[in-house]
Structure 1
Amino acid sequence: MKKWWMTLGLSAALAAAAPVFAAGNVQLSHDGLTIGLITDMAGPYAALEGPGSELAAKMAIEDFGGKIDGKPIKLMVGDNQNKPDVASAIVRRWIDQDHVDMLVGLGNSSVALAVQALASDKHVITMAADSGTTELTEDRCTKYGIHYVYDTHALAAGTGTAVVKQGGDSWYFITVDYAFGHSLEEDTAAVVRKLGGKVVGQVLHPLDTTDFSSYLLRAQASKAKVIALANTGDNFVNAVKQAHEFQITQHGQQLVGMLVFVNGVKSLGLETAQGLQFTGAWYWDQNAKSRAWAERFHKRLGVMPNYGQAGVYSAVLTYLNAVTEAGTVDADKVRDVLGKTDINDMFVSHGKILPNGLMLHDMFLMKVKTPAESHGDWDLLKVMATIPGKDAFLPLSASKCKLVKASNG
């Protein structure tokens, strides 16, 4: 079994760093503070997470100053191989033997659910940046679990609403067969039906699928106005490329990506991806702060970051600031500080972590540019609309999380 992990001691404070609390007099559980990044280093999501998420976490530690109370901040990186049992084994060892204080990234939804449950039992905070299922903050919410970047409800609310209002009122889903895909299809179908549309069919595909021809032919035969790809990463890229070969959009059906990252658009090229609409949490070129951070990232990795990787950076820095304010790595005290923090950085404006662990923030409806609109290699998207967090995410009043009921007395 191939494993990836490494321990890093970092101590470079950069001029462009976000404001932080002065680190001093912090009660640590061991000789330093350790953060564990659980991610896909070599699988179908590696380009979306993997080395990019690792760099983002490193940059956050560097920008914080590399040390806390004079002790090193260490980063451990584990390849989850997109398998809950593999990720759980790594996390259990990290917590029991390496004294990991916080876990970030987490990977696909099935992995994230397993890791969040295990870490919570051991009183370790998790900050999911890559995972989509709403179960992380709903039926399977935990005291120490935080869902930081996006979820399937927000993706559905943004893209589903926009497409139906534009006339796309009949849908066919091509869905990846695990927790994330099921949750994304369910949430999007609910939005479609609520707005008066209908779902005419769906088909499930395995995570490691490369040939989408049979799925696309079924979708084409359904005569649905919208073919929704409830997948991401290599699955999404391969499906779009093959749909382009079949000239599906030229025959009048609309292709919709339900979880799209800038990496996927870059891989497809604007000629193929132009006009695609989707909902995202962040774009590297949306403002001066995002551009400055993204350019630093690009200089070190050669690609622009996506919103999951930007979320890893923000989550790590937010956690380190909370530890400093709390004066301890004690998970209960740090979680209390996190719940009171107004998060403002290059990723989010006025983010708020709710009692169920959801980080509430604005989302964005985006559209892929045409080749004529692009003025550079990574000038790929335009932000069409801001979706207020209260409209994107499930409201606490509708939450099934037991922690919400407890906080309401």
Structure 2
Amino acid sequence: MKSLHNARHTPVSAPVSALIPALIALLCSTSALADANGVKVGVITDMSGSYADLSGRGSVLAAQMAVDEFGGKALGKPVTVLSGDHQNKADIASSLARRWFDTDGVDMVIDFPNSSTALAVQEIARQKQKINIVSTGGAMALTNQNCSPTGFHWGWDTYSVSAPLVKRLIADGKNSWYYITVDYALGQSLEADFRKEVEASGGKNVGSTKHPLNASDFSSPIVAASASKAKVVVLANAGNDMINGVKAAGEFGLIKGGQTVITPSTFITDLKSLGPGVAQGLTYVDPFKLDLDARSKAFVERFYAKHKAYPTHGQIGVYSGVLHYLKAVEAARTVDGPAVAEKMRALAVNDDFVHAGKVRVDGRMVHDMYLAQAKTPAESKGPWDLVKYLGTIPGDSAFRPLSASECALVKK
């Protein structure tokens, strides 16, 4: 009987012992699955400041539209959208992200219509191994020297809205450039990318004036730009600063005087605020073509019905980023940041925003961009019929090549 007992005992105890590490791993991994409260997506945005119209509540709506399109659940649990106002301050954005990650169980954060807030939160997300997606901010550092294994840049960046414009304008003989630059990460990145491309294309950078965020008076920078006699004046800013700069350029006669004013960070809400009489002729590069196809036009209509405004490229970028994230969560069968990040890079991006987008190792989502121009009053057929598209810039040409990257994730 003893030998029989041992015969029965031995095959049972050995497998149980062998399964212990696997059981422990399974128990630990359940914390990476959606908890009882489900998957949580946090939209960190500007609710009341300079970038509220181009992001803000519209970005929160876009995130919810993505969740609804996905069916409202991931991994069998409900998906919840949270929102927070970063007030265009990196410290407030950082504190909110830490609390959401550490206390509130947020799995991913998105939007960031201010590059300083985006860079600050991306570092926290890296430390916490959480996913962050920048849709509205544009600083190149996000996928360059400050790239992150769990950080992604959707929509546009300062290279993609500068290099194509520089090449086109210098080919037309506009070879001297002046900059009016907002003095924080976005403006610094915009000016740096423009300067580099101007020099590489044989042009000349003749000067620059800095201004603070939310500047109320652009008379001094505009006068300096006029005095420079530069053929091109770049408003390296965004939101209300860009709008006020364009108005001042018109009042001081820059365009009438023969200077070309470039607004690289342009959103359709900016054109609506300016009106076609003031905005007409502004040329820029846009990540989103409103009439790309039936899906895109349908999204614009649904969004307008809910928000009473057309979606900006930052807002539909939030929709696209959230939708892609949820697809990756389902593919990875977990909300664990590194695992989801791997799937986000593996899956193609196909939605109402882009077709056949691809996510590179540095976190940049590559897709076609569009050369755009603000319509004249005669061309505009309605309150939101404000932009015409002059051409398509293929994704592989629009974004800085990996061969020029400083991202540590890129193998040379």
Q: Same fold (TM over 0.5)?
A: yes
Per the alignment, residue 227 of structure 1 pairs with 233
SS in 2 for 1:296: helix
Deviation at 1:210, TM superposition (A): 1.5
Query: What CA distance in whole angstroms lies between the structure 1 residues aligned with 2:112 and 2:375?
Result: 31
Partners of 2:164 and 2:303 in 1: how far apart?
A: 28
* 1:344-390 C-alpha deviation (Å, 9 max, x unpaired): 11111111111111111111110111111122211111111111111
1:214 aligned to 2:220? yes
2:409 corresponds, among 361, 386, 403, to: 403
The amino acid across from 1:158 in the alignment is P
Letter in 2 for 1:61: V
Query: If you compute each CA radius of gyration, which structure gives the higher value, 1 or 2?
Result: 2
Instruction: Please report the RMSD computed on the Cα atoms of aligned residues, expressed in angstroms.
Output: 1.2
Cα distance in 1 between the residues matched to 2:257 and 2:134: 39
CA contact (8 A) 2:75 2:329 kept: no
Q: 1:291 aligns with which of 292, 297, 302?
A: 297
Amino acid in structure 2 at the alignment position of 1:172: Y
Partner residue in 2 for 1:320: 326
Q: What displacement does 1:130 show?
A: 1.0
Give the aligned length. 381
The answer on whether the counterparts of 2:75 and 2:334 sit within 8 Å (CA) in structure 1 is no
Describe how 1:237-316 pairs up with structure 2 within 5 A. 237-316=243-322
Aligned equivalents of 2:272, 2:172: Cα separation in 1: 26
The correspondence of residues 122-137 of structure 1 with structure 2, limited to 5 A, is 122-137=128-143
Separation in 1, partners of 2:325, 2:226: 47
Please list every run of 5 or more consecutive structure 1 residues that lacks an aligned counterpart in the other structure.
Answer: 1-25
* Structure 2 residue aligned with 1:159: 165
1:175 pairs with one of 181, 186, 200: 181
CA deviation string 1:281-326 (max 9, x = no partner): 0032332211100100000110000101010000001101111111
1:29–1:329 CA contact under 8 A, matched in 2 = no
Aligned amino acid, residue 292 of structure 1:
A
> Partner of 2:98 in structure 1?
92
Q: Identity rate of aligned residues, in percent?
A: 47
1:6 maps to none
Partner-residue secondary structure (3-state), 1:255 = strand
Alignment partner, residue 68 of structure 1: 74
Q: SS state of the match for residue 324, structure 2?
A: helix
Equivalent pair of 2:320/2:351 in contact (CA under 8 Å) = yes
Residue from 181, 204, 213 that aligns with 1:198: 204
**Aligned counterpart in structure 2 of residue 189 of structure 1, from 181, 195, 199:** 195
Structure 2 residue runs of 5 or longer lacking an equivalent are 1-31
- Per-residue Cα deviation, 1:193-223 (whole angstroms, up to 9, x for no partner): 1111101100100002021001100000011
CA distance in 2, matches of 1:394, 1:248: 31
Give the AA of the match of 2:195.
A
2:2 maps to 1:31:
no
Corresponding position of 2:15: none
Question: How far apart are residue 30 of structure 1 and its match?
Answer: 4.4
- Note if contact 1:158-1:278 (Cα within 8 Å) is conserved in structure 2: no
Does the residue aligned with 1:168 lie in a helix, a strand or coil? coil
- Contact 1:164/1:195 (CA < 8 Å) preserved in 2? yes
| 1:79 maps to 2:55 | no
Asked if residue 53 in structure 1 is aligned to residue 59 in structure 2, the reply is yes
Matched, 1:381 2:387: yes
Provide TM-score, normalisation by structure 2.
0.91
2:179 aligned counterpart, secondary structure = strand
Give the TM-score of the pair, scaled to structure 1: 0.91
Q: Give the residue type in structure 2 aligned to 1:245.
A: E
Q: Is the CA contact 1:339–1:354 (under 8 Å) kept in the aligned structure 2?
A: yes
